[in-house]
Amino acid sequence: MSVRISGGVFRGRVLTGPPRADSRGGRAPMVERARPSAVRLRKSLFTVLAEEVAEARVLDLCAGVGTLGFEALSRGARECVFVERSPRLGRLIERNAARLGTNAFELVVGDALGELRRFLRAGRRFDVAFLDPPWEMWESEAGVELLRGAVGLAPLVMAEHRSSWTAPSRVTVGPEREPQGEMRPPFGVKFRTTAAGDGAFSLYRRGETSERVDTLT
């Protein structure tokens, strides 16, 4: 399975996609399964985020083979940190980076929730975070915790989910203080949802107050 970059300097370049089967011809183990974002959703997402992504520090949580992060790098992001729990998929991220000829990335192999907490404790900050876990995770508290933590790390967060699932309109981040002593808004608010077929993405910004809903046809 391959994935094609939809825009930017790497437009048309092909990434190695996730494995379809294990060595015995069956399905890939659960930890190695990934569902790259549909091309229509990616095009719409990066049209909306064009100015936000340029020169941004990007976090790609539950990265799979790195589709969203590499799209961001293609469209001008300064650097991307990929977090992926599967060592096999992590190796594919490295292979895809080599194929594109970019070293503007960091790969972290580990559980997204655990690494997210570690980033928060370390005071790491990003400009944009992409969050695309297995869609069933959104039905659990773990999904909401991922979203809450992502909003704590970046002022702009994209959450991809089933189009039939209603993303929460607001998530509490927590009353953390910035190094300068100013209070950061303790919440993130959904300001846009765009759906195409089975998939959708919702965008969150700290302190934003309006929402827009689109359906791609």
Separation of alpha carbons 107 and 90, rounded Å: 7
User: What token pair was written down for 216?
Assistant: 């791609």
CB-CB contact of 82 with 60 (8 Å): yes
Query: Binning pLDDT at 50, 70 and 90, where does residue 215 land?
Result: low
User: What token pair was written down for 93?
Assistant: 């991220």
Among candidate residues 98, 171, 87, the one with its CA nearest the CA of residue 131: 171
CB-CB contact of 173 with 206 (8 Å): yes
Residue 25: inside a domain = no
- pLDDT given for residue 30 in this prediction: 45
Instruction: Please tell me the total count of domains within the chain.
Output: 1
CATH no. for residue 125?
3.40.50.150
> What is the rounded end-to-end Cα distance, in angstroms, of the chain?
25
* Residue at 80: amino acid letter: C
Contacts of 2 (CB under 8 A, 6+ apart): 14, 15, 16, 17
- pLDDT given for residue 155 in this prediction: 94
- pLDDT given for residue 31 in this prediction: 44
Q: Taking 70 as the threshold, does the pLDDT of residue 25 lie above it?
A: no
Residue 24: inside a domain = no
pLDDT digits (tens, 9 = 90+) for 140-171: 999 999 999 999 999 999 999 999 999 999 99
More confident residue, 210 or 88: 88
User: What token pair was written down for 160?
Assistant: 């991809």
Residue 30: inside a domain = no
Q: Taking 70 as the threshold, does the pLDDT of residue 76 lie above it?
A: yes
Q: What is the rounded average pLDDT of the residues 100-107?
A: 98
Residue numbers of the domain that contains 198 = 2-18+38-215
Residue 14: inside a domain = yes
pLDDT digits (tens, 9 = 90+) for 163-199: 999 999 999 876 544 455 555 546 899 999 999 889 9
Q: How many CA atoms lie within 13 A of 8 on its CB side?
A: 25
Residue percentage of the chain with pLDDT more than 90: 73
Q: Taking 80 as the threshold, does the pLDDT of residue 36 lie above it?
A: no
Q: What is the rounded average pLDDT of the residues 129-146?
A: 93
